[in-house]
Structure 1
Amino acid sequence: MKRLHFVLLFIFNLSFSQNSIHQIFDSKTYEPIPFSAIVVVNNQQVSFFSDEKGVFNINKNKIDSIQILSLGYFNLNIHPRQLTDTIFLTPKITQLNQVIIRQKKPRIKKIKPKKTKLFFNLKPNSQLGILVQNKKKQENTYIRYIYIPIRNKTYSHSLKKTYNSVIKIHLFSNKNNTLGEPLIDKPIMFFCNQDSKKFIGIDVSEEEIIFNKKGFFICIEMLGKIDNYGNLKKDKLVFPAFTFTNKESKDVLITTYFKNCFSRNGQWEVAKDYDAEFLGYTNFIIGLTLETHEN
C-alpha cells in the first residue's frame, strides 16, 4: 500500500512539475493585466482566463501554440518554446486629448435612460459592444458621465441570491462601425454583487471625449463569477443583468453587437442575430451627461 501511495505521489509530482506559471504585464506601465483571455491550441482549442493578477499556469509540453487577448491590447501569439515567466502585451495607442482653454461656462444636458423592457444576462466569456451616436447636430459637445443601469438581484428561488462577479469595460472611438482607438488608458474593472448599486457609473469628465454623429463604443466584457481567491468560476448564468428596450431615443442612436471573448477572428454579431431571446429589444439602455461649449 505504501509503495502504491509512493508511485501515485511520484506521478502527481511529475505531472505538476510539467506545468509552468506565467504572469501577463502591460509593456508600458509594467502593471499586471487582470483576466486576460488565453487560447491554447493543440488537437483542440482550449480557452480560459488568467486570474486578477494576470497569472496562469499551463503545460507547455502539450500545446502547439498559445494566443493571449485582452481589451485595449494587441493580440499576442506565442510558440510554447518562446513562453517566458513574464509576458508583456502592447497597449493600443490611446487617442490623445487636446488641452482646451474655455472662457464660458458649459451648457449641461442629461440624457436619461429609457424605461427597462428587458433584462438580459450576458453569458460568461461574452463581450458586448455598444455603438453610441449623437442624433443631434451639436458642435463642441463632450461626454462627462456614462450611466449604465443594471439588475443586480435575482428573484428566482432556484438561483443563489449572493454572488461576486467581475466586468471589464473599455471605451473606443468609432472607426467604420468597428472598435477604433482606445479613449481611456486602460479598461475599468467593476466588481459587482447583490448589494451593488443599480447602475454602473463611468466618470469621463477628464478625458475630453467628443460626442458627435460618428459616436463611440462602450465595450463590456462579462468575465463571470469569481471565488474568494480571485479566480473565475464556471457558471452558466451570471449577474448583474443588463437592460434593453425596443424604444428608440430621440437623442442617441444605439447599435448593439456581441462576440465571444475568446473569438480569434474578432467578428462581431448584431444583437438581433445573436440571440432569439431579444425579441426585438435590442437597444441597450444607457444615460449620458453631456457638456456643450459655445464658440
Structure 2
Amino acid sequence: MLQLNKYLLLVFICFTANSFAQTKVVSSETKYPVSYATISFGNGQGIFADDEGDFIFTKKLYPDVDSLFISALGFKDKAIAAIDLTKSIFLETETNTLDEVVIKTTINRKFKKETLKPYLDNDYYKCWLPTIESEIAVFFPNEDDKLKKITSVIFPITLESRDWKKRKRSNANKRPFSTLFKVKFYASDNGVPGEPLVYSNIVFRATEKNGDEFKLDVSEHDIIFPENGFFVSLQVLGYTDANGKLLPNKKYKEIKGKSGTVKIPTNFRPLLPFTNEINDYRTYIKRVFINGNNWVQFKKGNGIESSLLRSNLNNYGVGISFNSYKDE
C-alpha cells in the first residue's frame, strides 16, 4: 500500500509539473490554437509550438530566460515576462491580413507540366546542418511571361550511413530520423524575400525512408508564379515522435569553458546538400532568433562563417514542378 501511495504521489507531481510547464498559443479572435508559433528568448535561443499551439517552458530548462517573444505569420508579435507566463497566450491578428481572401482558382486552359530538378549530393562535407534558428530561402526567377502555377517543391536530402566506413555504399543502413519542417513562400522584394505569398501553415515530416529527396505537393495552395519570381524557404522545427508530433526538445547545447558557458544550437538531421552548379547567388539565410531576423545573401563577404562558402558551395539546390499554361 505504501508503495502504491508513493507511485500515485510521483504521478501527481509529474502531472502537476507538466501542466504548469505547458503553454498554449491561441488566436484572440477565433480562440483556435496557433500552430507552430515561434517562441524566441533572445540571444539566439528559441523553440516552436506544436500543431496544437503547445510548447513547454520551465525555469529548469531555461534558467537564464527572463522574457519570451511570441510570433506567428498573420499575427502581431507579443512579449511576455517569464514570471507572467500563463497556460494560454493570446495573439491578435495583424490588421493587414484581416481582409485577406483566399480565392480558389480554376484555370481551364491547356498546360505543360515542367520540372526544375533538385541538385542532389551524398557528400556529407557539402551539406548544411539545419538548426532551428536558421531559415533557408531559395530564389526562383520568372523566365517568361507565361501563366504558371507551382504544384510541388522538391527538397534534396543527404542521408547518413549508420557505419561511417560504409558511407559511400548505396545499400548501407541509414541513420534514422523523423524531422518536422516548415515551408514558406515569399514574393521577391528587390531580390530579397519579401511579403508572404501564403499565410497558411505548410509543414512536412521527413524520415530516412524518403530517400535523397522529399517532394512536397503544394497544388492546393494555388500559388501563381509572380512576375518578379519568388522564394521558397525551409525551416526545421525539430524532431518528432513516430506519429509526427513535435517533441519538446531543448534546442541548444551548453558547453562550459574558461570564459563561461557557451550555447551552441542543436543540429538536426537530415543534412541539406549545397551545390556549386548554380551560377547565381540564389540562396538567402536568416537567423530567426538573432541578428534582427533579417535576410542575408549566402555569399562570401556577407559576414557568414561557413565551410560551404569556402568551397564555393553557394546554393541549396531546391527543385520545383509547375504547370505552364498555354496562351488563349
Matched, 1:215 2:229: yes
How far did residue 73 of structure 1 move?
4.3
- Distance in 2 (alpha carbons) for counterparts of 1:20 and 1:50: 13
Shift of 1:224: 3.0
Structure 2 CA distance for partners of 1:64 and 1:155, relative to 1, 3 Å: closer
Partner Cα distance (2:162, 2:200) in 1: 34
Contact 2:120–2:156 (Cα < 8 Å) also in 1: no
Which consecutive unaligned segments of at least 5 residues does structure 1 have? 1-8
The residue that corresponds to 2:286 in the other structure is 259
1:285 alignment counterpart: 317
- Match of 1:88? 90
Instruction: Read off the aligned partner of 1:113 and give its amino acid letter.
Output: P
CA distance in 2 between partners of 1:287 and 1:169 (Å):
14
RMSD across aligned positions (CA): 3.9
Matched with 1:24 is 25
- Tell me, in whole angstroms, the C-alpha distance in 1 between the residues paired with 2:55 and 2:65: 18
CA distance in 2, matches of 1:120, 1:81: 37
Q: Distance in 2 between matches of 1:146 and 1:269?
A: 22
> CA 1:109–1:29 in 2, change beyond 3 Å: closer, same or farther?
farther
Distance 1:255 1:83, change over 3 A: same
* Corresponding residue pairs, total: 278
Corresponding residue SS for 1:206: helix
Structure with a larger share of its residues in helix? 2
Please name the residue that 1:4 is paired with: none
The offset of 1:111, in angstroms, is 1.9
Q: Which one-letter code corresponds to 1:248 in the other structure?
A: I
* CA displacement, residues 123-148 of structure 1 (integer Å, 9 cap, x when unaligned): 343211222222x2223222222211
- Judge conservation of contact 2:37–2:70 (CA < 8 Å) in 1: yes
Taking the aligned partners of 1:110 and 1:18, their CA distance within structure 2 comes to 48
Cα 1:18/1:26, change in 2 over 3 Å: closer
Q: Which amino acid aligns with 2:112?
A: R
Deviation at 1:231, TM superposition (A): 2.1
Residues in 2 aligned to 1:24 and 1:203: alpha-carbon distance in whole angstroms: 28
Matched, 1:194 2:193: no
Q: Cα distance, 1:24 vs. partner?
A: 0.9
| Cα distance between partner residues in 1 of 2:180 and 2:186 | 20
Displacement of 1:102 in angstroms is: 4.2
In the superposition, relative to structure 1, how do residues 100 and 261 fare at CA in structure 2: closer, same or farther (>3 Å)? closer
Partner of 1:78: 80
Q: Which runs of 5+ in 2 are unaligned?
A: 1-9, 168-173, 253-265
Task: Supply the distance in 2 between the matched residues of 1:110 and 1:45 (Cα, whole angstroms).
Answer: 37
Residue 67 (str. 1) matches residue 75 (str. 2): no
Q: 1:257 deviation in Å? A: 1.4
Partner of 1:3: none
Q: What does the per-residue CA deviation read over 1:62-117, in whole Å, with 9 as the maximum and x for residues that have no partner?
A: 86532113456442223568654322335663965556564531232222234547
TM-score relative to the length of structure 2: 0.68
Identity of aligned residues (%): 22
Q: How does 1:1-295 map to 2 (within 5 A)?
A: 21-27=22-28, 30-40=31-41, 47-53=46-52, 54-58=54-58, 64-71=66-73, 73-79=75-81, 83-90=85-92, 93=97, 96=101, 100=105, 102-116=107-121, 118-134=126-142, 136-154=143-161, 157=164, 161-226=175-240, 230-234=246-250, 236-248=266-278, 255-263=282-290, 265-272=292-299, 273=302, 274-278=304-308, 279-293=311-325, 294-295=327-328
Aligned-partner residue type, residue 55 of structure 1: F
Is the CA contact 2:38–2:72 (under 8 Å) kept in the aligned structure 1?
A: yes
Question: Structure 1 residues 63 and 292 mapped into 2: Cα distance closer, same or farther (>3 Å)?
Answer: closer
Q: Secondary structure at the match of 2:289?
A: coil
Residues in 2 aligned to 1:200 and 1:27: alpha-carbon distance in whole angstroms: 35
CA 35–157 in structure 1, closer or farther in 2 if over 3 Å, else same = farther
Distance 1:196 1:130 in 2: 21
Larger strand percent: 1
In structure 2, relative to structure 1, the CA distance for the partners of 1:119 and 1:29 (3 Å cut) is farther
TM-score by length of 1: 0.74
- Structure 1 position 23, deviation (Å): 0.4
SS of the residue aligned with 1:138? coil
Give, as a single letter, the amino acid of the residue that structure 2 aligns with 1:129. A
